[in-house]
A and B are shown apart, each in its own frame.
Chain A
């Protein structure tokens, strides 16, 4: 499949700190790509490089084969960038904010109005179009920013936290719109809200210290963890002695103690019976066993040790 975005050994430094370290990857046309990672992993910087807000210190970013630094204006025609916080002019109405950008891109006035109404209807902000942006809630501003970036019909949509500040219904509507656009447009986004990344279920890039630590679909990423289960056993009294005794069991991975609850990961459910054996005579109050999720994958200690 044809690549929409290609990065070749892209690096970004701030002072002597490496924000992005020699990233090389491609994004296929029409795909939906999530970038996740801890704070300061370099996610937003990567989006800013793709949008053209920042230039790489070394390496190249290609948008549909066009070098985004050498032919910035050509490459930017293909992209729409929605930042994390509002960048709307607070004194202009929502519609005026969107129309202005539409005019700047040279889009026909009628087309602009048609697109605004279509997307505003999808995202349920039709009644807010004439309100000054400064008086609109942050969630609705975010929707307006998404519409604004769709107004020139870019083939690549770059979004920093697509549903930040949004309530459940708005989040659903926004994802309905984005999923509808995927396939036709390449959508690359950063999100801290992992359940929505799991639901979107396309390609996921996990960033760690400016590098891509993991890359693949959710199923592929969790493949290595499928044998793992997360256990939570609540004791009536979990003493230090008992905790040390239990964590000495070799099949227990990444144990921790919160109050009287023992958390750990185990490759097989049978590990529970080993615990039972070691904790003979101790009263247990509750037990939870669940399969791992993206959140667990993001647990750096665990990821560092166990995701082989």
Chain B
């Protein structure tokens, strides 16, 4: 695992300026395009919480999704098909499960660290202050959310050989997650039959877990452990997928 973390640090160092620009500009764009406009449409949620306070975890997850997507795409698509580095790595003594879990976890660590910088900028722009506990919860929630997102894009990156399929798939998945997981709009705006399905999504469970922790002070065991279990199981399935894709 250490080798994979060091590798992420080396990669980050190699493209420090573009990454720093993304991390600094992304929360500003999200704030200008989503937060400012949406708060004039939705003043308060159904639970009488101001929209800005309700939506910031969703915006944080959105920023995290945008940061982690290229990391995963690079490791599982580009390094598999373009540079073949993943093939060489598969010849090492590590099992496919270890390779997938180390690549995903190191991507999550980088994604969460970069997201944290963006979170502080976003919260500053939105004039929201959160306590230490909320900060710890949001780090846990972002890590869990990253686990699901990383696995989703790993599956996508491993199961296609065409770059246009990746872009199409990534766009559809991102839009789906935004509107199906309460990132920007709460479920009360949707028909009940749709809500019943969306509530079962691990991404929406994570946001529900965080919001119930912060706004109601309740730790919902199911909303935490179900996405965690799905994430771990999905990582295992991705390792099987990688084995099949590499024909080993």
Q: Hey, which bits of chain A sit against chain B, CB under 8 A?
A: 51-55, 72-73, 76-77, 79, 81, 83, 85-93, 96, 100-101, 103-106, 132
Chain A residues in 8 Å Cβ range of B6? 100, 103
* Interface residue from B2, B10, B89, B94 paired with A96 (Cβ < 8 Å): B10
B85-102 with Cβ < 8 A to chain A:
85, 87-95
Contact across chains for A83 and B7 when beta carbons are under 8 A apart: no
* Interface residue from B7, B88, B94 paired with A92 (Cβ < 8 Å): B7
Contact across chains for A101 and B92 when beta carbons are under 8 A apart: yes
In the complex, A73→B14 CA distance in Å? 32
CB distance from B102 to the nearest CB of A (A): 9
- Mask: chain B, 1-23; 1 = CB below 8 Å from A; 0 = not: 01100110011001100000000
In the complex, A88→B79 CA distance in Å? 9
CB distance from B218 to the nearest CB of A (A): 43
Contact across chains for B95 and A81 when beta carbons are under 8 A apart: no
CB distance from B9 to the nearest CB of A (A): 10
In the complex, A86→B248 CA distance in Å? 21
Contact across chains for B15 and A81 when beta carbons are under 8 A apart: no
In the complex, A72→B14 CA distance in Å? 34
In the complex, A79→B90 CA distance in Å? 13
Asked if A91 meets B14 with Cβ closer than 8 Å, knowing A100-B7, A103-B2, the reply is: yes
In the complex, A100→B94 CA distance in Å? 13
- Mask: chain B, 68-95; 1 = CB below 8 Å from A; 0 = not: 0000000000010001110111111111
In the complex, A83→B89 CA distance in Å? 13
Chain B residues in 8 Å Cβ range of A100? 3, 6-7, 10
Chain B residues in 8 Å Cβ range of A51? 91
In the complex, A85→B79 CA distance in Å? 13
Contact across chains for B3 and A53 when beta carbons are under 8 A apart: no
In the complex, A52→B89 CA distance in Å? 12
B1-56 with Cβ < 8 A to chain A:
2-3, 6-7, 10-11, 14-15
Among residues of A, the one whose C-beta sits closest to the C-beta of B94 is A104
Asked if A88 meets B83 with Cβ closer than 8 Å, knowing A53-B248, A72-B248, A77-B93, the reply is: yes
Contact across chains for A76 and B91 when beta carbons are under 8 A apart: yes
Chain B residues in 8 Å Cβ range of A103? 2-3, 6
> Quick one: which of A52, A85, A96 has the most chain B CB within 10 A?
A96
* Interface residue from B2, B7, B91 paired with A52 (Cβ < 8 Å): B91
Q: Can you give 18 A-B contacts (C-beta < 8 A)?
A: A51-B91, A53-B91, A53-B248, A54-B247, A54-B248, A83-B84, A86-B83, A87-B83, A88-B83, A88-B85, A89-B11, A92-B11, A92-B14, A93-B10, A101-B88, A104-B3, A104-B92, A132-B14
Asked if A89 meets B87 with Cβ closer than 8 Å, knowing A53-B248, A73-B95, A100-B3, the reply is: no
Chain B residues in 8 Å Cβ range of A96? 7, 10
Chain A residues in 8 Å Cβ range of B2? 103
CB distance from B110 to the nearest CB of A (A): 13
Taking A53-B87, A77-B93, A83-B84 as known contacts, 8 extra A-B pairs with beta carbons closer than 8 A to each other, sorted by chain A number, are: A52-B91, A54-B247, A55-B248, A79-B91, A86-B83, A87-B85, A103-B6, A104-B89
Chain B residues in 8 Å Cβ range of A106? 93
In the complex, A151→B248 CA distance in Å? 24
In the complex, A73→B248 CA distance in Å? 11
In the complex, A83→B15 CA distance in Å? 27
In the complex, A90→B85 CA distance in Å? 9
Among residues of A, the one whose C-beta sits closest to the C-beta of B74 is A91
Asked if A89 meets B83 with Cβ closer than 8 Å, knowing A51-B91, A76-B93, A105-B92, the reply is: yes
Chain A residues in 8 Å Cβ range of B89? 101, 104
In the complex, A89→B74 CA distance in Å? 10
Chain A residues in 8 Å Cβ range of B87? 53, 83, 87
In the complex, A73→B90 CA distance in Å? 10
CB distance from B80 to the nearest CB of A (A): 10
B192-248 with Cβ < 8 A to chain A:
246-248
In the complex, A73→B95 CA distance in Å? 8
CB distance from B81 to the nearest CB of A (A): 11
In the complex, A88→B94 CA distance in Å? 18
Chain A residues in 8 Å Cβ range of B84? 83, 85-87
* Interface residue from B10, B91, B93, B246 paired with A81 (Cβ < 8 Å): B91
CB distance from A157 to the nearest CB of B (A): 13
